[in-house]
Structure 1
Amino acid sequence: MMLGSIAKKVFGTPNDRKVKAVRPLIEKINALEPEFQKLPDQALKDKTEELAKRARDGESLDDLLPEAFANCREAARRALGLRAFDVQLMGGIFLHQGNISEMKTGEGKTLVATFPAYLNALTGKGVHIVTVNDYLARRDAEWMGKVYGALGLTTGVVVPQQPDAEKRAAYQCDVIYATNNELGFDYLRDNMKSELSQMAQREHYYAIVDEVDSILIDEARTPLIISGPSQDRSELYKTIDTLIPELKEEHYEIDEKSRNVTFTDEGNEFLEEKLRAAELLPEGQTLYDPESTTVVHHVNQGLRAHKLFNKDKDYIVRDGSVVLIDEFTGRMMTGRRLSDGLHQAIEAKEGCDIQPENVTLASVTFQNYFRLYDKLAGMTGTASTEAEEFMSIYGLGVVEVPTNKPIARQDEDDQVYRTATEKYQGIVRSIREAHEKDQPILVGTTSIEKSELLSQLLQQENIPHNVLNARQHEKEAQIVAEAGKPGAVTIATNMAGRGTDIQLGGNVDMKVMEALDADPEADPDALRKKIESEHEEDKKRVLEAGGLFVLATERHESRRIDNQLRGRSGRQGDPGRSSFFLSLEDDLMRIFGSERLDKVLSSLGMKEGEAIVHPWVNKSLERAQAKVEGRNFDIRKQLLKFDDVMNDQRKVIFGQRREIMEAQDVSEITRDMRHQVIEDIVAERMPERSYAEDWDTEGLNDDVKKYLGLELPVVAKAQEDGVDDDTMREWLEEQSDKYMEDKTASFGEETMRNVEKQILLQTIDAKWRDHLLTLEHLRSVVGFRGYAQRDPLNEYKTEAFQLFESLLDSLRAEVTEKLSQIRPMTDEEQKAMMDRLMAQQKKMQAPAKQPTPVPAGADDVAADGASPAFDENDPATWGNPGRNDPCPCGSGAKFKHCHGRL
């Protein structure tokens, strides 16, 4: 340790060397400043065009950086009145290099992002700036959009519930502000679209993630899932349900403690026999094969439904449906359903109508979404504690950017009390002392419940205060802006990503806006002058009182969260102080060695209400936090390894979909698939180097009918002299190609190409959906392989690969079969369809016999409860068409392929 500290003094830390290395670049940018200050406004936009042309002609962005940053700094000065400091330029350079810039609160990260965003947008590929909530995305896009506008670039913002056209337009902009959730969901939605023109996102070129630790670490494990109703599997549940009562006690074991059931070896053998008889398990396939995962899962759920869930204890049957009972309160939990097919298994057991499961249509984790970008960067006030994780998972380096002015905050040692009651008494005492001397106080808590408890204690003491909750982002910004007023007390839960600084004396802009709202007739300039002079007085009082006092009521299990809270005080060189109040009853203290500390405190003869304050306590707590962080990192790393297996397959499927959408003509793909299917069926029915009498020509004849839609003399052909498997394969390929050419002629070239494309996409989507479900089931059971001394991850990789191969095989077979069966509609069929459509429209126009339920927000329903008149241009008047009915808009397509498309 000592040698390391000596080396750091001589050579500097790695961080110091990185900071030193960019100083010459900053000097270059500063040298260009006078030249850019002389340029007229239009010349800044002309400069953007010139730089973009140079980038297109092959000049590297690194070479363009000094001019681009100088141009952007000048645009920000003119548009916002903000001239970027050298340290802000430094933060921007590190972001452009694909690092995380760790910048303290109040150092102007929002402005810093404009520099690398502008430079990288010159490529024309679009830059994504990622925020933690919709309010910040809108606010930053509007605020920084003025800078990009002055430079001749466009700014877009992506938020939930945005109309498709608006969203597509936003993604075409040069710089796009969006939340991490919306970006991930748009990626998934795009990969469910059937035409390129409907896709919103462009390529994933460069993203700057604000509050990067919150998004890429705290939320990294959260999968984004788009789900929808699954196909009806009620027959499967019913069939399995009939098998369960036949099981004997030796066929299964019950573990009531963990509420789990497992089949014995005898049980597995018995089940295999029964499942084959019920045609749920193909001949030659066992329950141990990867293809059996879904059947095994549902059989397990059926057994659990019968053996672990008891009627009138765990659930009741009411009006033909299964309603769960809360085991703690005994109340019915209407609308709550068990997941993974367990609820359906109970419905089958009780003979109720089986409601379909929700299935995953597409999913991705933030870890894998953000690894799609060619270049990734991030900003936060606290990243260095997680530097190892950022580097190993995302390849991101962390660079600490120096502050513009030295930090003048005093960080006090933690105060440790024996009980929570004593701790809260100490907290209230400290708040009262600071409040009485006009010092603003920010109190950090770890949960909403603790915020409310502290609020009640302060009410009892008549101390006025604000409580920040997570419900209103706009109000939140206002409360944070006011938290620096003299004597203000603000209680907050988790201070990350607020996007608003606590300015000493309060926020002038916010005060001006409030005053103008109260009196719209007032003169804005006179009002601002008056408020500014009052603000100076307030700021002086706060500075004399010692600046903002950050008081934390507990240590979080992550040091980052503690540092975020601490960093709210002492912005831009302001004075301030921070202190942590702890008790031996806190979660972290209870888990890590509170018994030893309790003995030490007792032996010291501490009186009630006293606290121990010592640097050693801080050190031992930091070590405890580092242990917890290490464990959480290991969990995330392990989960990522499992998700990577699915991610590789996801990329292949999404890549294939995109190729199909981009292709004008997919007939070659479908032809190759058809030929592969022919090869497979011939290889199965006429094995290579086998005798003619061993061939299954009847089976081959059936396969040709099923997959190729052809009535051919297969048996007779096989009996001809000199016919072998190669001859048969070539003959079938020739016949099927001719059949498809005739079909194309009857449909018309263009129609046939469209049909091929849509069948390909729909089949890929359906197969991928089933595959995701199978992988979920495999993931839930593969952990048990550890008991057999086999690595669950390797087992998962192997079986997931086998399942993916079988997905591709079945995809080829299904596409070939569907294409062989389609044919143009006859005149009679077209007439019947039109008659059905007309009858449906008449039915919709008939007055309702009973009041129609009014959809939320539908104001145009007649007062007497009758349905509004049918209007093919107004979906609100269509009632509830079936998914397979013709669309009421009159397009001729099915409802599910037109206005009912998911």
Structure 2
Amino acid sequence: MFKKWFDSGLKELKKAKPVADKIEKLSSSVAALSDEELKNKTEEFKQRFQQGASLDDLMVEAYAVVREASRRVTGMYPYYVQLLGAIAIHGGNIAEMKTGEGKTLTAVMPAYLNALNGLGVHIVTVNEYLARREAEGEIGDIYRFLGLTVGLNIRELTPDQKKEAYACDILYSTNSELGFDYLRDHMVLYAKDMVQKRGLNYAIIDEVDSILIDEARTPLIISGGAKQNQNLYAAADRFAKYLKDEDYIIDIESKTIELSESGIVRAEQMFRIENLYDINNVTLLHHINNALRANYIMFRDKDYMVVDNAVLIIDQFTGRVLPGRQFSEGLHQALEAKENVEIKKETVTVATITYQNFFRMYKKLSGMTGTAKTEEEEFREIYNMYVVEVPTNEPVIRVDAPDFLFVTLEDKYNALIDDVQERHEKGQPILLGTVAVETSEVLSKLLTRRGIKHDVLNAKQHEREADIIAKAGHKYAVTIATNMAGRGTDIKLGEGVVELGGLAVIGSERHESRRIDNQLRGRSGRQGDPGYSRFYLSAEDELLMRFGGETFKQRIAMISKLNTDKEATKPQPLESKMFSRFVSSAQKRIEGQNYDTRKTVLKYDDVLRKQREIMYAERTFVLTEANIEPFVIKAIESYIDSAVAPLMVQVGKNKFEINDEAIHVTFDGVLFVRGTVDKQKLAELDEKGIPAYLKSLAMHEIENKKAQFPEEIFNEFLKVISLRVIDTFWMRHIDQMSELRQAVTLQQYGQANPLQIYQKEGFNKFREMTLNISKDIATYVLRAQIRVNSEREEVVKNTKTNEGGELRNKKPSKVKQNHNQRNMPNWKRR
């Protein structure tokens, strides 16, 4: 009764039934259409949508058309229950459909309907084999028959092939490839190289619980590997130690240090470059700044210690050493160079996102799986999706036997193998489910000793695995597989297997998630077939040891002894609802803990998500906008305002104490060429006049550069600088946030809220980064010279994903600089 009142999935199912009835009524009239008339329906639907009809208005007719097209193309006619699932999926929900109920065919109806708006539909699978099977097989043929294009997105495609795939009405892809394409799109150097140009419109996720729950804590990471720049640290350190007092300026209050004009000249002489502030020298300048800070701002035995040839950070609050921690942005390596100890390789995370935040960016999201109800709360709270339990087409007649519980692993395995042998001798196919690879190897050895031929599969899904799983329903087949193996592939029963009782699924232990156990059970008893399932447990299983320990084992041993017949030659299993409840309770507790962990990860990642969206939007604007001069001017003005403000302190109503000398030092010879800022002029201006004067100098410099070169070349100059600066600082910021995330976890021991500290510090770091971006854009635009032969380059090259794939942006070919052409245009298109 309570379930009927509060189960949102039941309400959705109730609403779906009248719609499904209407689709059923259209079946005869749609069946009377010719192939040509059926195909023409797609264009008719598109026109009606453009004329104001909603997708909901078109759903009944569209589903009826797809249903008939499926019959003609594949011979499969979607059942009534599949219509219910398709309606639930279109509503942005999860259709829970048991194994063998035809989820793949069910998804065709909402995918077709949602493709009519021209924005594209992404169907997400757990592996490339399944994506290819649907896109290139008979499921893809249904779409093609109806006039829609179907694309396949896999790792080895070139950017041009990916663009073609993403332009299709229906795109089949893995979850990881979609996420990496999103990250790579915000690293490309030219707008034409972006592949997800239509954005993230609608996704239907197959095995939605696997992707959005099991993999939710795994972030997608593109990294640049280890930087090969130890020599640059050493060179920058030698340069810093060579400087005289007049070659640098230290601000004691802010603990910052910068080269003076004479220091800049010395740097250009030592490193044999013409302009330290040229865009090509951004990395060198970063290393010099770190070397300056390491040598003149940081002090040994105060800020850090050197112990056993390693630099260790000293916590400024406690005075204790922080082992395993490093200063970020290469400062730690600069200190190692200063102290002449081994310089560790600096690694870089270029881009990262979690599956949770990636899929929440879709305008509409839905999914399907055989097992989702146990995680319904998480789907509802995080993804705003209800789980709709779709009834089976035929009643489930599988026998789910009670668990067998033994005292030791040895007793359990022996009893399990006895059961397998007995069933194998009759010819009944058996699927042995394991939680770990180690368990599958143990069972394989035991089966080999008994002379039972079998196949062993692990969770590394590939084409051969799917084929073996598909044949696992034939007579005498014995298959050992991890509980997740073969998702998306039905185990169809071979000839004569029904009479033997169908497929027997035997679990070697319980998984910490009930959902995974249900998934394993669901491999048997599809479409009204007979089947059997049982789990074998022992008090030494990891799950039971975690929650019961030795005390539980001793009690089981005692009960087992009491229940065992004295004449029995083998240990007898225990069957009890009490034990089943204990196991179920342990699983629920672990599921709750895992949910809390995923929620915490999401809360932390949400901080970075907001920052990522701002930075990616800014980068996309620079990449795609024809003229970014207003963007650059805004950055210059923003930096001038932020740099001038601390040097003009309000001391009364409309009264300011202005430090003209500090303003002159800050801007003349740093932002502007020395001699540009008139000290006398500064003395004559008030708090409003000074920023206006500095901005006018900046505009004058920009107008001078514009006058020398064609508009296209000047705009490319601005884009090269802006992209390089944004990418450099964003990449550093990601690393900083990662280190901050690790650091704040220690705060909870001091009764502080680590999340609040992370949010506050993350905001401060982001604000600091945006100011630094404005500063560097302003500096490089005003100080850099425009030359003939520079082009856009990645900040980090040879980037790789944490899935093993490589970033596909090619390394640009370099052209040697002709230093005699200092004032010639420096940018050319590739």
Of the three residues 476, 491, 495, the one matched with 1:502 is 491
Q: Name the structure 1 match of 2:542.
A: 587
Of the three residues 157, 160, 166, the one matched with 2:161 is 166
Q: Name the structure 2 match of 1:210.
A: 206
Mapped partners of 1:387, 1:203: distance in 2: 28
1:614 Cα deviation from its structure 2 partner: 1.6
| SS of alignment partner, residue 725 of structure 1 | coil
1:36 Cα deviation from its structure 2 partner: 1.5
- Inter-CA distance 171–431: structure 2 relative to 1 (3 Å threshold): same
Contact 1:883 1:896 in 2 (8 A): no
- Inter-CA distance 368–16: structure 2 relative to 1 (3 Å threshold): closer
Contact 2:124 2:172 in 1 (8 A): yes
Q: Name the structure 1 match of 2:252.
A: 283
- Inter-CA distance 756–348: structure 2 relative to 1 (3 Å threshold): closer
1:228 Cα deviation from its structure 2 partner: 1.1
Give the aligned residue type for 2:56: D
1:436 Cα deviation from its structure 2 partner: 1.3
Structure 2, unmatched stretches of 5+, are: 239-244, 257-288, 312-325, 565-569, 791-808, 819-823
Mapped partners of 1:134, 1:898: distance in 2: 35
| SS of alignment partner, residue 226 of structure 1 | strand
- Inter-CA distance 669–895: structure 2 relative to 1 (3 Å threshold): closer
1:355 Cα deviation from its structure 2 partner: 5.7
Cα deviations by residue, 1:717-759 (Å, 9 ceiling, x for unpaired): 1344xx3132232233223212211211101111111221222
Of the three residues 389, 393, 396, the one matched with 2:382 is 393
Of the three residues 762, 772, 776, the one matched with 1:814 is 776
1:678 Cα deviation from its structure 2 partner: 2.6
1:659 Cα deviation from its structure 2 partner: 2.1
Of the three residues 73, 79, 92, the one matched with 2:73 is 79
1:305 Cα deviation from its structure 2 partner: 7.5
Mapped partners of 2:480, 2:302: distance in 1: 47
Residues 87-166 of structure 1: pairs in structure 2 closer than 5 A:
87-143=81-137, 144-166=139-161
Name the stretch that deviates more: 703-712 or 47-56: 703-712
Q: Name the structure 1 match of 2:373.
A: 384
Of the three residues 562, 568, 583, the one matched with 2:517 is 562
Q: Structure 2 length as normaliser, TM-score?
A: 0.82
- Inter-CA distance 415–155: structure 2 relative to 1 (3 Å threshold): same
Give the aligned residue type for 1:605: L
Residues 436-475 of structure 1: pairs in structure 2 closer than 5 A:
436-471=425-460, 473-475=462-464
Cα deviations by residue, 1:568-612 (Å, 9 ceiling, x for unpaired): 000000011100001111001111225235325414524452110
Q: Name the structure 2 match of 1:758.
A: 720
Contact 1:207 1:376 in 2 (8 A): yes
Give the aligned residue type for 2:428: Q
Give the aligned residue type for 2:253: G
Structure 1, unmatched stretches of 5+, are: 243-275, 311-336, 506-537, 834-874, 888-892
Residues 438-837 of structure 1: pairs in structure 2 closer than 5 A:
438-471=427-460, 473-495=462-484, 498-505=487-494, 538=495, 541-594=496-549, 595-596=551-552, 598-603=554-559, 604-607=561-564, 609-688=571-650, 695-697=659-661, 699-700=663-664, 702-709=666-673, 711-720=675-684, 723-825=685-787
Q: Name the structure 1 match of 2:322.
A: none
Mapped partners of 2:814, 2:768: distance in 1: 29
Cα deviations by residue, 1:676-724 (Å, 9 ceiling, x for unpaired): 223233334444569898523364255143214473352121344xx31
Mapped partners of 2:444, 2:327: distance in 1: 38
Residues 222-301 of structure 1: pairs in structure 2 closer than 5 A:
222-228=218-224, 234=230, 283-285=252-254
Q: State percent identity of aligned pairs.
A: 43
- Inter-CA distance 239–418: structure 2 relative to 1 (3 Å threshold): farther
Q: Structure 1 length as normaliser, TM-score?
A: 0.76
Of the three residues 410, 417, 426, the one matched with 2:406 is 417
Contact 1:554 1:582 in 2 (8 A): yes
1:49 equivalenced with 2:43 (yes/no): yes
Of the three residues 17, 26, 30, the one matched with 2:24 is 30
Give the aligned residue type for 2:715: R
Give the aligned residue type for 1:790: A
Q: Name the structure 2 match of 1:331.
A: none
1:790 Cα deviation from its structure 2 partner: 1.7
Q: Name the structure 1 match of 2:307.
A: 306
Cα deviations by residue, 1:810-834 (Å, 9 ceiling, x for unpaired): 1111101111123344xxx98xx9x
Contact 1:708 1:816 in 2 (8 A): no
Mapped partners of 2:235, 2:740: distance in 1: 22
Contact 1:234 1:354 in 2 (8 A): yes
Contact 1:79 1:146 in 2 (8 A): yes
| SS of alignment partner, residue 76 of structure 1 | helix
1:477 Cα deviation from its structure 2 partner: 1.5
Aligned alpha-carbon RMSD (Å): 3.7
Of the three residues 206, 213, 217, the one matched with 1:221 is 217
Contact 2:401 2:533 in 1 (8 A): yes
- Inter-CA distance 679–278: structure 2 relative to 1 (3 Å threshold): closer
| SS of alignment partner, residue 823 of structure 1 | coil
Contact 1:240 1:302 in 2 (8 A): no
Contact 2:176 2:220 in 1 (8 A): yes
| Structure with higher RCO (Cα < 8 A, 6+ apart) | 2
1:622 Cα deviation from its structure 2 partner: 0.6
Of the three residues 369, 375, 395, the one matched with 1:406 is 395
User: How many equivalent pairs are there?
Assistant: 740
Cα deviations by residue, 1:810-868 (Å, 9 ceiling, x for unpaired): 1111101111123344xxx98xx9xxxxxxxxxxxxxxxxxxxxxxxxxxxxxxxxxxx
Contact 2:10 2:388 in 1 (8 A): no
Give the aligned residue type for 2:307: H
1:375 equivalenced with 2:364 (yes/no): yes
| SS of alignment partner, residue 808 of structure 1 | helix
| SS of alignment partner, residue 818 of structure 1 | helix
Mapped partners of 1:711, 1:211: distance in 2: 66
